[in-house]
Amino acid sequence: MSANPFFDPSLPKRHRSARRFKRFTAASIIMTLAFLFFFLFDMVRTAAPAVWQAYVKVDVTYNEQTLRFTRKAVDKKYSKIVSRAWLRTLPKQVDTEPALMNTTVALWVLADDQVDQYMKGHHHKLKPKEVTTVENMKENGDIELRFNAVFFSQGDSKIPENAGIQAALIGSVLTLIVTMMIAFPIGVMTAVYLEEFAKDNRLTRFIEVNINNLAAVPSILFGLLGLSVFINLFSMPRSSPLVGGMTLALMTLPIIIVSARAALRSVPVSIRQAGYGLGLTKLQIVQDHVLPLALPGILTGSIIGLAQAMGETAPLIIIGMIAFIPDSPESIIEAATVLPAQIYTWAGMPERAYVEKTAAGIIVILLILVALNATAIYLRKKYELKW
């Protein structure tokens, strides 16, 4: 056998190091995924119990006395088993349905959070006597875990079994609507001006550098700006989605501008030239040919900016959207809280029952973010043009 003319003694070593490098890169991906899965798994595991909530079947008496001292509406042994929050609604129930007065009805009602935690096998503070009562009820089928509708139909509460994310969810939606109404048109217009109309001179370059810097400013500073300008200077309502939305709009603006400019720049120059060659004005070209082509990119960037604003907490804490706000806002000038702020509040609560609610809130926010990003990808894929 003749000698191999292609033999190179250094090659095996080089191939080995290439393989090593490949393994390193793969390992980092695996590590990232492992962290992500661990986080998701832990969150879902913690949040899962929040899907269910304990309900008990008790006799409820409606009369003058029990309406005043609602704890007396149920048998004494059940007074710590039934939710205080539910008992407080007795007078309201009679208001809406007067026929209930002076009757005793067997009802399935919300259980106290300690009972709920006991049923779920978590740490609880029930006294031995109460544990016996619950065990008896279990045997009689008078206690069960049901779907936790309260979580989606109630606002925040200091009574854990009565706390939900509805107020925060509505607050978030209102805030984001304000954010988009302000940031999207201003951002897109700015991008159009800088890309299509502005001459390349010192002033434009200065503006450009500053917009890029703005994107890197810590979000809490925007909160301070919102506090001093919107609330102190213009006396806008504190804690309101209006101020929150405006503050987040400042933060989202640079993201929208940068992504919209990139989208506009990716529209081929030949399209603009074709328009000019036909004697069209700049407005006609930008409005009818350039913007529609850039729109998917602009939308994608805006949605990503929106998602970022949605998860933002720090600036909203500064402008007071972190306060205890149990009622859903009905307009953008009422006090409101937002999802991440709600999660932050719950995370600091001492009761064990808030742990699962915190995790459930995180899952909800993650689902919304995933949905937003999926929309962005969908829009990009749908309107993407091949040249």
- Using an 8 Å Cβ cutoff, are 94 and 126 in contact? no
Alpha-carbon gap, residue 104 to 62, rounded angstroms: 6
| Residue 383 Cβ vs another protein, minimum distance, rounded to whole Å | 10
* Nearest residue (CB) to another protein, 132 versus 281: 281
Q: Based on CB atoms, which residue is closest to another protein, 91 or 268?
A: 268
Query: CB of residue 273 vs another protein: minimum separation in angstroms?
Result: 6
Q: What is the DSSP string of 142-179?
A: -EEEEE-THHHH----SSGGG--SHHHHHHHHHHHHHH
Q: Which is nearer to another protein, 24 or 387 (CB)?
A: 387
Of 107 and 280, nearer to another protein (C-beta) is 280
Of the two residues 57 and 289, which places its CB atom closer to another protein in the complex?
A: 289
Contacts 24+ apart (CB under 8 A), 201-208: none
End-to-end CA distance of the chain: 55
CB of 42 to another protein, least distance (A): 47
**Which residues of this protein are in contact with another protein, per CB under 8 A?**
199-200, 268, 270-271, 273-274, 276-281, 284, 288-289, 293, 385-387
Nearer to another protein, 284 or 331 (CB): 284
CB of 293 to another protein, least distance (A): 7
Task: Give the burial class of 280: count Cβ atoms within 10 A of its Cβ; 0-12 exposed, 13-18 middle, 19 or more buried.
Answer: middle
Per the document, the length of the chain is: 387
Tokens of 242: 């209006």
Diameter of the chain by CA atoms?
Answer: 110
Rounded least distance, CB 278 to another protein, Å? 4
Minimum distance between the CB of residue 384 and another protein, rounded to whole angstroms? Answer: 11
CB-based contact 112:125 (threshold 8 Å): no
Q: Which two tokens stand for residue 297?
A: 């990119």
